[in-house]
């Protein structure tokens, strides 16, 4: 059966059954969003926790900025590899079982990271953390797009992204504060224990996915991947994802070196407090989730990118309050863009290939994050923080152009979510 026909049939089923499903399922808006928020939070507790510790790690291991930034790039590289595998095989996995099992494995790996005796070994453990993490958040993205009606997806996705923001904030700020007082190892013990507790809680509160009335089965796991690679709207989304995580990683990794030096001289603990700006991003993301279905995902994405670009420019002003405002704007823009992109996957990808599309998007997103931890090192050496800002601005402009020209409405069976 042609893809367009399958898609139209799938959308018709969703439209006809969305109200009854929402009322009869345990996934009602008030109760269903907490497990989604929890999954997002636990997936990102450990992923970026070394960011506020980068200047400290450079001193402890007598390493360069580029070398210690590898503790970030190693984890994002692991995510990219794992996401590519999930793009192939994720459609066949049980949503809840995979999410909870991945949480347990991630917590154990985080505990073992505290045993690292050198920077290469630390980077290896960080890569293993990255390999496990997509089992949590890629399946959660698919879970949201499959379990809620189309008009509810942006709002519920905003809670998931809000959870990732809060988890990233909690991991970074606790890492910076504990590292300055106790050294870098205890943070992995604390975050690992939190991860085990969170996995037990997720097992209890996360409802299993509802049985599907019909699944589209592919003869090969490569079939949905190849179809997605021929979809211009998805290709634009993958490109946007690359640019946006590049932006977040490059800004929040290299700003630590900038602010640790003259004239600011911030300590490791003080650098960790920079990530309180994530709470602004959390609030902005949750607020955006209530209006994206009305203003449109395309307009929301372009606005978020513009907001991020404006915030990045403010970080060039040599004033800590202004830099803080700029970081708040930039992070908010990235988080809102993530909500838009994750929600857009439901419209751009046909039923039966949405886990594959989410996996490919996350793969591209984290390849961007890996490059964002490495490439700005050259700009830093040549021109310092202004060089990093110039390079990152180029990627943001590229993302804006991809959203404006690449997110076109499909002609048949459009979803109720406006673009």
Is the residue at 13 inside a domain?
A: no
What are the residues whose beta carbons fall under 8 Å from the beta carbon of 205, sequence distance 6 or more?
34, 35, 38
Cα dihedral 119, 125, 126, 131, rounded to 10, equals 150
Buried b (16+ CB within 10 A) or exposed e, 299-313: bbbbbbbebbbebbe
Is the residue at 292 inside a domain?
A: yes
Number of domains in the chain: 1
Q: How far apart (Å, rounded) are the C-alpha atoms in residues 275 and 277? A: 5
Q: Is 7 left (phi over 0), alpha (psi -120 to 50) or beta?
A: alpha
pLDDT in tens, 309-326: 999 999 999 999 999 999
Structure tokens at 330: 């930039």
Is the residue at 393 inside a domain?
A: yes
Contact 90, 224 (CB under 8 A): no
pLDDT (tens digit, 0 to 9) for every residue of the chain, 419 residues total?
343 433 444 343 334 433 333 333 434 444 568 888 989 898 888 888 988 898 889 989 999 888 898 898 899 899 889 888 877 777 778 888 899 999 999 999 999 999 999 999 999 999 999 999 989 988 888 888 777 887 787 788 888 888 888 898 898 889 888 888 888 999 999 999 999 999 999 898 888 876 655 444 555 667 778 888 889 999 999 999 999 999 999 999 899 999 998 899 998 888 888 888 888 888 888 888 778 877 888 899 999 999 999 999 999 999 999 999 999 999 999 989 988 998 888 778 776 677 788 788 888 988 998 899 889 999 999 999 999 999 999 999 999 999 999 987 655 555 545 44
pLDDT in tens, 328-359: 999 999 989 988 998 888 778 776 677 788 78
pLDDT in tens, 192-241: 999 999 999 989 888 887 665 544 455 566 777 888 888 999 999 999 99
Quick one: which of 315, 346, 347, 312 has its CA closest to 332?
Answer: 312
* pLDDT reported for residue 328: 94
Is the residue at 399 inside a domain?
A: yes
Q: In the block, which residue shows the tokens 């809102």? A: 336
Mean pLDDT of the chain: 83
What are the residues whose beta carbons fall under 8 Å from the beta carbon of 261, sequence distance 6 or more?
none
Buried b (16+ CB within 10 A) or exposed e, 108-144: ebbbebbebeebeebbebbbbbbbbbbbbbbbbbbbb
Is the residue at 416 inside a domain?
A: no
Domain carrying residue 387: 28-208+223-406
Structure tokens at 111: 């505990």
Structure tokens at 291: 């209006």
Structure tokens at 204: 């209890």
CB count in 10 Å sphere of residue 229: 12
What are the residues whose beta carbons fall under 8 Å from the beta carbon of 282, sequence distance 6 or more?
162, 165, 166, 169, 335
Q: Whole-model pTM above 0.75?
A: no
Residue 236, domain CATH: 1.20.1250.20
Q: How far apart (Å, rounded) are the C-alpha atoms in residues 250 and 104? A: 29
CB count in 10 Å sphere of residue 210: 13
Is the residue at 18 inside a domain?
A: no
Contact 369, 83 (CB under 8 A): no
Contact 6, 230 (CB under 8 A): no
Is the residue at 213 inside a domain?
A: no
Quick one: which of 330, 414, 356 has its CA closest to 238?
Answer: 356
Is the residue at 122 inside a domain?
A: yes
Q: How far apart (Å, rounded) are the C-alpha atoms in residues 341 and 358? A: 10
Q: How far apart (Å, rounded) are the C-alpha atoms in residues 169 and 347? A: 30
């Amino acid at each position: 059966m042609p893809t367009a026909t399958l898609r139209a049939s799938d959308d018709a089923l969703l439209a006809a059954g969305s109200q009854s499903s929402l009322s009869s399922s345990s996934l009602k808006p008030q109760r269903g969003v907490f497990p989604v928020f929890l999954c997002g939070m636990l997936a990102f507790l450990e992923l970026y926790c070394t960011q506020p510790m980068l200047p400290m790690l450079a001193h402890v291991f007598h390493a360069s900025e580029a070398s210690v930034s590898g503790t970030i790039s190693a984890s994002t590289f692991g995510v990219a590899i794992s996401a590519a595998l999930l793009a192939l095989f994720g459609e066949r996995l049980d949503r809840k079982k995979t999410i909870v099992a991945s949480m347990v494995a991630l917590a154990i790996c985080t505990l073992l990271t505290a045993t690292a005796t050198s920077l290469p070994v630390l980077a290896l453990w960080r890569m293993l953390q990255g390999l496990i993490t997509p089992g949590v958040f890629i399946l959660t993205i698919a879970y949201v797009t499959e379990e809620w009606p189309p008009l509810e997806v942006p709002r519920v996705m905003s809670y998931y992204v809000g959870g990732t923001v809060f988890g990233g904030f909690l991991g970074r700020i606790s890492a910076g504060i504990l590292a300055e007082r106790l050294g870098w190892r205890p943070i992995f013990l604390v975050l690992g224990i939190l991860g085990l507790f969170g996995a037990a809680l997720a097992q209890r509160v996360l409802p299993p996915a509802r049985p599907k009335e019909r699944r589209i089965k592919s003869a090969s796991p490569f079939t949905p991947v190849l179809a997605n690679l021929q979809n211009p709207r998805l290709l634009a989304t993958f490109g946007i994802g690359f640019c946006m995580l590049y932006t977040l990683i490059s800004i929040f990794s290299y700003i630590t070196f900038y602010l640790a030096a003259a004239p600011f001289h911030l300590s490791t603990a003080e650098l960790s407090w920079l990530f309180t700006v994530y709470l602004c991003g959390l609030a902005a993301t949750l607020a955006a989730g209530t209006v994206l279905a009305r203003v449109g995902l395309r307009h929301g994405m372009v606005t978020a990118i513009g907001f991020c670009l404006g915030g990045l420019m403010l970080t060039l002003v040599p004033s800590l309050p202004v830099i803080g405002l700029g970081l708040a704007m930039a992070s908010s823009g990235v988080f809102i863009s993530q909500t838009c992109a994750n929600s857009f996957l439901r419209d751009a990808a046909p039923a039966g290939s949405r886990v594959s599309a989410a996996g490919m998007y996350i793969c591209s997103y984290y390849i961007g994050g890996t490059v964002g931890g490495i490439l700005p090192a050259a700009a830093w050496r040549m021109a310092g923080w202004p060089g990093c800002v110039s390079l990152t601005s180029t990627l943001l402009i590229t993302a804006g152009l991809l959203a404006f020209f690449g997110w076109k409405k499909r002609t048949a069976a459009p979803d109720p979510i406006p673009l």
